[in-house]
Amino acid sequence: MNEKVINTAWLEMAQGLMSELCQQKVYPEHIVSAVPDAAAFQGWRIESLGPAEHLSDQVLCKGDSVMLDFGEHLVGYLTLSLLNERSNADAPLRLKLTFGEMPCEVGEDFAEYSGWLSRSWLQDEIVNVDVLPGTLTLDRRYAFRYLKIEVVETSIRYDIRINDIYCMTVTSADIGAVPQLPEGIDTELLEIDRVSVKTLRDCMQMVFEDGPKRDRRLWIGDLRLQALVNYETFGCNDLVKRCLYLFAGTRLEGGQVGACLYEQPEPYVDDIYLYDYALFFIATLWDYFEATKDRETLEELWPVVREQIDIALSRLDERGIVRDDDTWYCFLDWHEELNKQAGAQAVLIYSMKRGKRIAKELGLPEYEEWINAHIKEAEQTALTYLWDGEKGFFVSGEKRQISWVSQVWMVLAEIMDAPAARQLLDRLTGNGEAIGMTTPYMVHHYVDALLMCGEEEKALEQIRRYWGGMLKDGADTFWELYDPDDKTYSPYGSNLINSYCHAWSCTPSYFIRRIFS
pLDDT for 207-238, tens place per residue?
999 999 999 999 999 999 999 999 999 999 99
- One-letter amino acid identity for 285? L
The answer to whether residues 78 and 158 belong to one domain is yes
User: pLDDT value at position 110?
Assistant: 96
Domain boundary among the residues 436, 464, 489 is at 436
pLDDT of residue 362: 98
User: Per the domain annotation, does 254 fall within a domain?
Assistant: no
In a domain, 335, yes or no: yes
Cβ atoms within 10 Å, residue 453:
21
291 domain residue, yes or no: no
pLDDT confidence of residue 146: 98
Cβ 178 vs Cβ 197: under 8 Å? yes
Q: Any idea what the CATH number is for the domain that residue 135 is in?
A: 2.60.120.260
Same domain, 384 and 403: yes
How many domains are there within the chain? Answer: 3
138 and 54 assigned to the same domain: yes
Strand order from edge to edge, sheet including 218-219: 218-219, 260-262, 268-269
Query: Does the CA dihedral 355-356-362-366 come out positive or negative?
Result: positive
Q: Based on the domain organization, do 515 and 405 belong to the same domain?
A: no
pLDDT at 94: 98
d(CA 337, CA 435): 8
What residues make up the domain containing 361? 315-436
- Is 233 domain-assigned? no
**Global model pTM greater than 0.95:** yes
- 58 inside domain: yes
Report if residue 293 sits inside a domain. no
Amino acid at 406: S
Give the Cα separation of 48 and 170 in Å (integer): 27
Ranges of residues in the chain with a pLDDT under 70 are 1-2
Same domain, 29 and 154: yes
| Judgement on whether residues 396 and 455 belong to the same structural domain of the protein | no
Residue 484 is predicted with a pLDDT of 93
- Please state the separation of Cα 192 from the chain's center in Å: 16
Residue 271 lies in a domain: no
510 and 424 part of one domain: no
Q: Are both 405 and 456 inside the same structural domain?
A: no
Same domain, 432 and 450: no
Domain final residue, candidates 171, 206, 230:
171
The distance in angstroms from the start CA to the end CA of the chain is 50
Q: 322 and 426: one domain?
A: yes
Distance, in Å, from the CA atom of 319 to the CA atom of 345, rounded to the nearest integer, reads 12
Tell me how many degrees the CA angle 356-357-360 measures, rounded to the nearest 5: 90
d(CA 237, CA 243): 10
Whether residue 392 is found in the same domain as residue 471: no
Cα separation, 44 vs 260, whole angstroms: 33
Q: CA neighbours within 13 Å on the CB side: how many for 117?
A: 15
Express each pLDDT in 476-509 by its tens digit.
Answer: 999 999 999 999 999 999 999 999 999 999 999 9
On the CB side of 30, CA atoms within 13 Å amount to 13
- Per-residue model confidence (pLDDT) at position 3: 87
Boundary (domain end) residue, out of 171, 195, 228: 171
Q: Most distant CA pair in the chain: distance in Å? A: 83
Task: Say if residue 329 is in the same domain as residue 446.
Answer: no
In a domain, 414, yes or no: yes
126: Cα separation from own chain's centroid: 28
